[in-house]
Amino acid sequence: MEKKEKRFEGTVINGFFMLFLNLALTLGGIALFIWGCVLLDAYNTAGGELMVLGALSVIVSIFLWCGFIMLEPNEARVVTWFGKYAGTFSEAGYFWINPFYGTKKLSLRARNLDAEPIKVNDKVGNPVMIGLVLVWKLKDTYKALFEVDTQTMATTAQGQVGTDVKSIMNALEKFVRVQSDAALRQVAGQYAYDDEDGGRGELTLRSGSEDINQLLEQKLDDRLALAGIEVVEARINYLAYAPEIAAVMLRRQQASAIITAREKIVEGAVSMVKMALDKLSGENVVELDDDKKAAMVSNLLVVLCGDDSAQPVVNTGTLNH
């Protein structure tokens, strides 16, 4: 897309120079008007011309007073000439431009958006609560004012169209909030909350935080570029199951964790039993037939896999008894 924003190339004069010049013009005009009144009253001479000159000087100075602008760092003025875009002026300081130019101030500073968690359905249909934090700033002033109907969105409660920087930036923030909501729903619907089958290696909202955040930034960039807004950073800051299924999913996660733990315990127990049998047989500690081995394996597995502590029973007989 062609970049339409351009630098303002009109006449810009140092504001302090014009301030002193305009003060001199205003005070000089008042002095000429008073002097003309005195001459006309006292000497009945050509004081009328001085009065007219003084009045014109004051009128011109009043017009010139309307051309002063002041910008702080990371602020910009969008300049228009009777409705036609003339450029963007973003140099910090105190300046004077032609008062016939219309200007609207915009802030180029970074802003935060902490979106409240919203309820969406993930890829498998589970309702989840998801929220994001977004850092954004204005990059293209032309798009912000003329590609998006910012000024109508900035309409005040009294029905007046907002033209001040606060109203326009609030309107842009509303635009960002709506588009962030849509982008978050789009991204959340493409992935499951968690890998329910376990071990499939699919990207999920819970496990793939960096990849999900990068995708979210890309979606937001695509949506907000229309308004000339740059996404500095976007992160999912809240992720949980919706309240109506949270308890059920918690029990499922607990059951899955228990099964995984049992698998590890059984795997370790079998390895220990095999090692014990191999040790007894290899070092000729005791001769065990198949029945004795089966009984020993059973006892060891009960001891190693049981939740309660084992209660040993001392056998005072012989193995052949």
CA distance 317 to 321: 6
CA distance 111 to 106: 13
The pLDDT of residue 22 is 93
The pLDDT of residue 228 is 92
The pLDDT of residue 321 is 44
CA angle 54, 56, 59 (to 5 degrees): 110
CA distance 100 to 86: 12
Query: How many angstroms separate the Cα of 270 from the Cα of each of 84, 150, 244, 263, 281?
Result: 83, 70, 41, 11, 16
Whether the model pTM is above 0.95? no
- Kindly give the confidence (pLDDT) of every residue in the chain, 321 residues in length, as a single tens digit, with 9 standing for 90 and above: 567 899 999 899 999 999 999 999 999 988 988 888 877 766 666 667 788 888 899 999 999 999 999 999 999 999 999 989 999 999 999 999 999 999 999 999 999 999 889 999 888 888 889 999 999 999 999 999 898 887 776 665 555 555 678 888 888 999 999 999 999 999 988 988 887 655 556 788 888 778 899 999 999 999 999 999 999 999 998 888 887 765 666 666 665 666 676 677 777 767 777 777 777 666 666 666 666 667 666 766 666 666 555 566 555 555 454
5 DSSP 8-state letter = -
Domain limits, the chain: 12-107, 111-241, 247-305
Fold of 111-241: Tetrahydropterin Synthase; Chain A (3.30.479)
Which ranges of the chain would DSSP assign to H, the alpha helix?
15-42, 47-65, 141-142, 150-153, 165-188, 209-224, 243-282, 290-305
